[in-house]
Amino acid sequence: MLPQIAATTLFAVSVEFFFMARARLLIFFVVVLDAMGIGIVFPTLPELLRVLMHGVGDPARGYGYLLSAYALSMFFASPVLGALSDRFGRRPVLLLSLLGTAFDDLMMGLAPTLWVLYAARILAGFSGANLTVANAYLADITPEEERSGAFGKMNACFGVGFIAGPVLGGIAGMYSLRAPFFLAAALNIVGAVLAVFVLPESRKVTDAKRITLAQLNPFASLRNVFRLHGIAPMLYVFCTMDMVGQVPSVLWVIYGNSRFGWTPFVVGVSFAVFGLLHAIFQSILPERFQRWVGERGSMLAGIVADTVGYGLYSIASTTLAAFSILPLLCLGGIALPSVQSMLSRSVDESRQGELQGVLTSLNSLIAVGGPVVASSLYSLARTRIPQYPGAIWLAPVLLYVPCVAMLLWWRGQRKSAEASLV
């Protein structure tokens, strides 16, 4: 009898492990395709905007409005998609999002006028919160103790796709200004086919709660999540990391050109090196750091590495010095998977989609104002302290200092609480 029970248990565990492994690989692949679809349009989108403006207005300002419109629409859409995935399952919502994004890409590729391009980009924001559902899916199929490593691999997959996308977009753009948009649509359709025929559903929806109007309101969702016990410190760290990320995303190319005289080729090499290191580090290190020093230790290690890296970058005076700091900045990325893992454990399975939607909304909200703030601070620093051209890179350092202090305090509080129970 015991051998039969053992064999049955082993078979059940093996089936569950196979399901989890296959589902995880598939969702990773879908994320790679999604990231490639996002990145593919970057090389030609500004030029397409300029063509459709017909010489009227400032293309740079128009491009900024286009990015802000996309981020703002994603802010409103993410909680909705997350709540829908809690109610109806991850797979149908992911399918809807992928097909909607494919339609938006086709609409942009065929856009005859400027207003059609803007409308398509806004619709892309409403349907493009695929990562919200993908993160909820990953949390569903991954045990709590393994989520740091899983989220790290997810971030690595997104990074790989986001790097490969602009390369493919640049090649396609050599043949036609609109070709990258059609290629992006094709990639999203491939992802949708996988979601229909290959990707299994990650959670039962028979006992799911009905969606309330509050869940469809991004501001109400933010308020509800912030009210959860003990989640505010992690949300603060998450938002700070997002704000820090706005600085290099906006200024890396501009600063590289101004400070080091980088050509487009060198800029491309810097992105490739950073992307490769980021993917490697995210795939390997988060899980190991969690075993060595725990999740809070991983967060502290990542934030300290980022802080030191940006501090050194602010005084770097040569391209070689700048490139030598890239591994340190990539090491800083180990903090995010631990934050994501701890946040995912703060809610039960029935609210994972809502939580991931709120996180994407926060990311989008920061992306609306972040570029303006970062570029304004850069201009102000160049005007007020021209003798210190790297001063802007001290902004991430200043943002991180309260995070380090809070995590150290929080760690001490937890240890004191644990000691009092002994």
Distance of alpha carbon 359 from alpha carbon 369, whole angstroms:
16
Domain contains 45: yes
pLDDT value of position 8: 44
In this predicted structure, what is the pLDDT of residue 20?
59
Residues 104, 151 within the same domain: yes
> How many CB atoms are located within 10 Å of the residue 296 CB?
16
Percent of the chain with pLDDT over 90: 21
* pLDDT for residue 10 is more than 50: no
Q: Which amino acid is it at 126?
A: F
Average pLDDT over residues 93-115: 92
DSSP secondary structure letters along 201-228: P-S--TTPPPPPGGGG-HHHHHHHHHTS
- Which segment of 179-183, 189-193, 233-237 scores lowest on mean pLDDT? 233-237
Query: How far from 209 is each of 91, 137, 204, 272, 349, CA to CA, in Å?
Result: 17, 18, 12, 45, 11
**pLDDT of res. 71:** 83
Residue 11, pLDDT > 50, answer: no
* Residue 207's pLDDT band (cuts 50, 70, 90): low
- Distance of CA 101 to CAs 35, 127, 364, Å? 12, 6, 17
Tell whether 215 is covered by a domain. no
Residues 127, 28 share a domain: yes
Cβ neighbours, 10 Å, residue 377: 16
Could you say which DSSP state residue 318 is in? S
pLDDT of 79: 82
Q: Among candidates 49, 84, 74, which has minimal Cα distance to 354?
A: 84
- Model pLDDT, residue 117: 92
Residues 138 and 93 in one domain: yes
Tokens of 163: 């790097």
Tokens at residue 115, please?
Answer: 């207003």
Report how far apart the first and last C-alpha atoms of the chain are (Å, whole number): 42
- Same domain? For 119 and 266 the reply is no
d(Cα 349, Cα 345) in Å, to the nearest integer? 9
Give a yes or no: residue 341 inside a domain: yes
- Per-residue pLDDT for 268 more than 90? no
CATH number, domain with residue 36: 1.20.1250.20
Do 236 and 198 lie in one domain? The reply is: no
Mean of pLDDT values over 265-290: 84
Query: Is residue 211 domain-resident?
Result: no
Range of the domain at 167: 12-202
Given a cut of 50, whether residue 338 has pLDDT beyond it is yes
Angle subtended at Cα 394 by Cα 157 and Cα 253, rounded to the nearest 5 degrees: 55
**Is 169 in the same domain as 234?**
no
Q: Is the pLDDT of residue 13 over 90?
A: no
Residue 152 inside a domain? The answer is yes
Q: Are residues 149 and 37 in the same domain?
A: yes
Residues 188 and 266 in one domain: no
Please indicate, yes or no, whether residues 28 and 92 belong to a single structural domain of this protein. Answer: yes
Total domains present in the chain: 2
Residue type at position 244: V
Say if residue 171 is in the same domain as residue 254: no
| Domain-terminating residue out of 202, 221, 250 | 202
Give the pLDDT confidence score for residue 331 in this predicted structure.
Answer: 93
Residue 267: inside a domain: yes
Does residue 213 have a pLDDT over 80? no
> Do 185 and 235 belong together in one domain?
no
What phi and psi, each to the nearest 5 degrees, are found at residue 212?
Answer: -100, 160
Asked if residue 30 and residue 125 are part of one domain, the reply reads yes
Which of 202, 218, 241 corresponds to the end of one domain?
A: 202
Using an 8 Å Cβ cutoff, are 188 and 198 in contact? no
Q: Is residue 378 part of a domain?
A: no
Closest C-alpha among 101, 75, 97, 99 to residue 88: 97
Higher pLDDT, residue 331 or 6: 331
Most confident residue range from 262-276, 306-320, 408-422: 306-320
- Of 351, 356, 361, 352, nearest in space to 76 by CA: 361
Q: Which of 186, 202, 218 is the last residue of a domain?
A: 202
Average pLDDT over residues 296-317: 93
Decide if 379 is inside a domain: no
- pLDDT higher at 350 or 189: 189
